[in-house]
Amino acid sequence: MRRCGIISTVAEEYHVCKAKYKELYERLRNEILAGKYADRHVLPSEAQLSRRYACSRNTVRNALDELRHEGLIRCRQGKGAFVTKAGSARKIGLLLSGIPYSEYFQPVATAFMQLARDADYELDFGAVRASDPEARIREAEEIVDDFIRGRVAGVVYHPLDYAYDNGAANLRQLEKLTAAGIPVVLFDSDVVVAPARSSYDVVSIDNVIAGETVARHLLDAGARNIHFLLKPNWMPNAWGRIRGVTCAVAATGAGWPPSNILVSEPNDLEAIRRHMRRRPRPDAFVCENDTLAAFFKDSLEKLGWRVPDDVLLAGFDDVSIARLLTPPLTSIHQPCDQIAAAAFTRLLARMANPKLPPQEIFVFAPLVARASSVRPDKRKARKR
């Protein structure tokens, strides 16, 4: 009986201690988020906290461990606990540069807003909406300057695309953020073309595998001469998709020359007509994204070629336009919620520890096969 009583007493003491450190953790967390330590960025010592809140040093250590795991403080041997940027500034920035070109970015923005709200962060959202190349660069510069003035704790940055020399423009903005001590996670694409690699975290789909998946599908559907359509001033992630197509074709024993890349506006009828006159004629196109594919399909039809009878067609993103086209468009599905969650989680980790080595984080992106990549004779064979 005495032994049972001892066990019961120990269990009660354990639950009391756990309740005390949880209570202290909540109190300190609320003080940090309220900005109480924003000026000094240093918490009172363990001894001071123990006296102030009438609890043991062990209780204080457990509470501080919780705050450290959450990324709100960092502890230095012999120097105490310091509030991190994540703890002192509860605002993060999100820059999306593809707003006028793809609805892909609308669910991404919505997902980030919810993630920030759930984590007690304010989201400072900046969207590059201009279509003029020079105006796009100016908008991006203004958004980044606003982030710096607003002292955001970190930024998720979607690289600027479809602007003259966008590589240099992106690097200028990233250098400004880095100089201001603001951690950055790149979303959807790096800012340099592989095999080069920037010094920033990148969260995206694996574009090489995605390009290879699309191309293998088109080859299985009967394509013999796959080409790739890009808008001028494309982003580096497009090069990954092209590399994937190259790998898929090379696996068949055939070559894939760079001349199979058409860099053009999707409504430039003359450029498309010239490209389609090549011999052997292109019988399949992979487009940089679904929006581009939709305009390109319209141009092909104006020139007398039909999808999929004459040309198989595929894109990337799997936005609603892919489902609404006639015929519906084969596309790589971008899981917006998962990509946003991965980028947000990495940004919090980066803010808590700016010295983390840069990572590439890939989210699985499946192929969604539709009628744009199935020739009529193949459809008849399936019915039989």
- In tens, the pLDDT along 219-244 reads 999 999 999 999 988 888 999 999 99
Would you tell me how many other CB atoms lie within 10 Å of the CB of residue 44? 17
Q: How confident is the model at residue 382 (pLDDT cuts 50, 70, 90)?
A: very low
* Confidence (pLDDT) at 31: 74
Which of these, 281, 278, 71, lies nearest to 183 by C-alpha position?
71
Q: Which residues pair with 95 in a beta bridge?
A: 126, 157
pLDDT for residue 285 is more than 90: yes
Residue 48 lies in a domain: no
Are 158 and 257 members of one domain?
A: no
* Confidence (pLDDT) at 312: 98
Structure-block tokens of residue 213: 């998946």
- Taking the CA atoms of residue 216, residue 221, residue 223 and residue 224 in that order, the dihedral angle to the nearest 10 degrees is 80
> In a 10 Å sphere around its CB, with 0-12 CB exposed, 13-18 middle and 19+ buried, how is residue 119 labelled?
middle
Largest CA distance in the chain: 95
Are 200 and 347 members of one domain?
A: yes
Residue 70 lies in a domain: no
Which of these, 357, 352, 335, lies nearest to 92 by C-alpha position?
352
Are 121 and 188 members of one domain?
A: yes
- Give residue 243's domain range: 207-334+367-383
Residue 243 and residue 282: Cα distance in Å, rounded? 18
Mean pLDDT of 44-59: 86
CATH code of the domain containing 172:
3.40.50.2300
Q: Taking the alpha carbons of 323, 329, 330, 334 in that order, is the dihedral positive or negative?
A: negative
Per the omega criterion (within 30 degrees of 0), is the bond before 335 cis? no
Mean pLDDT of 246-272: 95
Least confident of 5-19, 23-37, 230-244: 5-19
Are 127 and 201 members of one domain?
A: yes
Q: How many domains does the chain have?
A: 2
What are the CA-CA distances from residue 93 to residues 88, 115, 127, 238 (Å)? Answer: 15, 13, 11, 25
Residue 78 lies in a domain: no
Residue 4 lies in a domain: no
Residue 382 and residue 384: Cα distance in Å, rounded? 5
In 118-219, the DSSP E strands lie at: 122-127, 154-157, 184-187, 201-205
Are 281 and 354 members of one domain?
A: no
Give me the helix-helix angle, 336-352 and 105-118, nearest 10°. Answer: 50
pLDDT for residue 376 is more than 80: no
Could you tell me the end-to-end alpha-carbon distance of the chain, in angstroms, rounded to an integer? 80
Are 232 and 376 members of one domain?
A: yes
Are 156 and 255 members of one domain?
A: no
Structure-block tokens of residue 114: 């919810």
Structure-block tokens of residue 364: 């699985």
Are 188 and 233 members of one domain?
A: no
* Confidence (pLDDT) at 87: 60
Are 197 and 289 members of one domain?
A: no
Q: How confident is the model at residue 370 (pLDDT cuts 50, 70, 90)?
A: very high
Single-letter amino acid code for the residue at 280? P
Are 272 and 376 members of one domain?
A: yes
Q: What are the pLDDT digits (tens) for 89-113?
A: 678 999 998 765 567 888 889 999 9
Residue 305 and residue 307: Cα distance in Å, rounded? 7
Are 141 and 189 members of one domain?
A: yes
What are the CA-CA distances from residue 378 to residues 221, 223, 322, 381 (Å)? Answer: 8, 12, 21, 5
Residue 8 lies in a domain: no
pLDDT for residue 6 is more than 50: no
Count Cβ neighbours within 10 Å for each residue of 226-256 and write b for 16 or more, e otherwise.
Answer: bbbbbbebbbbbbbbbbbbbbbbbeeeeeeb
Least confident of 72-86, 158-172, 303-317: 72-86
Least confident of 17-21, 246-250, 327-331, 377-381: 377-381
- DSSP assigned state of 99: T
Are 168 and 252 members of one domain?
A: no
Strands 367-368 and 330-333: antiparallel
Residue 46 lies in a domain: no
Q: How confident is the model at residue 84 (pLDDT cuts 50, 70, 90)?
A: confident
Mean pLDDT of 358-382: 85
Mean pLDDT of 155-161: 93
Residue 35 lies in a domain: no
Residue 201 lies in a domain: yes
